Amino acid sequence: MPAFSATAPGKTILFGEHAVVYNRAAIAAPVEQVRAKVYITPNPPGKPGNLKIDAPDIALDCDFDTLPKTNAIRSIIENAGVEFNIEHFPSAHIRIKSTIPIAAGLGSGAAISVALIRALASFLGRQIPDERISALAYEAEKIHHGTPSGIDNTVVTYAQPIYFCKGTAKTKKTNVELLLVGAPISLVVADSGVASPTVQAVAGVRQRWQENPHLYDKIFDNIDEIVDLARRTIESGKARDLGPLMSENQVQLQAIEVSNRQLDYLIQAAMSAGAQGAKLSGAGCGGNLIALATPDTAPGISQALLEAGAVNTIITTIQPTNKGGVL
């Protein structure tokens, strides 16, 4: 029996993480070099609803109905069943593979969710619009993250650079725009090697925000302004000018205590090797950082990061786009 398959990329947050949880804007882009892939092989003799899940990268090898109710993969399959209006999926073997590091700020949970929803749709021969894929993946993000902004599932679903702002209590509606990118942006993404579950970093920020709302709201506003400037800089194709904005965003992230010694050290190493700016990316407290490079400087920055202790680096380019606009 042929397998039905689907794939989704990793992602990086260029500007605005954490503040985005508090209704400020953020900018994110896909990282195509790392991906989640899902293969579904039908098992016709099996009973409907009999699904075998095999996900070696997250140490899962079990029958669907043995997964706890709180498991994100279980929740995706159940919610997809509701979406497609079926009681049980036909029996199948679901294999989930991912090269995206886990708990590292590269969107591995969202990518697995999006690839799984697309593969399930294909298995049933059904169409599902991107908006619904993102909404279903968002439900799983709640299990991974507690109070997600929705940026991860959105950028991974659309696989294009986005400008994202969660609706406020007043506006309700989330503003998602495809970002116009005026010129290529070269980045080195580096893994600090410290696993950092997003749920913990986000909960820590929330606790400190509750203790000191004035200070934290001011910092979130500062980040919001940086995002606005970054957006205009990206649109006008002045990639070099993003460096100081990234470094300023990092200062604000240090102020909300989501950077750490290892990230600060690696960021310094990237700057010494010629990066135009650098910051942590994602939840922080570990995970990945991004350094702004050029095609010429990227290999040297990558090498310097590895020598300074990064466990892995990815050289990636955000390609120009010719269409922006509200999604």
- Which residues sit at the interface with ligand PMV, rule CB under 6 A? 13, 17-18, 20-21, 105, 107, 145, 148-149, 151-152, 198, 202, 282-283, 287
- Length of the chain, in residues: 327
Residue nearer to ligand PMV on the CB measure, 37 or 145 = 145
CB of 76 to ligand PMV, least distance (A): 16
Encoded amino acid at 65, one letter = D
* Dihedral (CA of 234, 191, 202, 143) sign: positive
Helix (H) or strand (E) holding 315: strand 312-318
Catalytic residue among 57, 63, 130, 152: 152
Residue nearer to ligand PMV on the CB measure, 143 or 304 = 143
Instruction: Give the nearest residue (CB) to ligand PMV.
Output: 282
CA 231 to chain CA centroid, nearest Å: 18
Cα angle, residue 279 at apex, residues 299 and 324 outer, rounded to 5°: 90
CB of 167 to ligand PMV, least distance (A): 14
CB of 179 to ligand PMV, least distance (A): 17
Distance CA 95, CA 57 (A): 10
Residue nearer to ligand PMV on the CB measure, 149 or 276 = 149
Residue nearer to ligand PMV on the CB measure, 243 or 287 = 287
CA-derived radius of gyration, the chain: 20
CB of 110 to ligand PMV, least distance (A): 7
Cα angle, residue 235 at apex, residues 229 and 240 outer, rounded to 5°: 70
- Judge whether 65 counts as a catalytic residue: no
Q: Which residues are annotated as catalytic?
A: 152
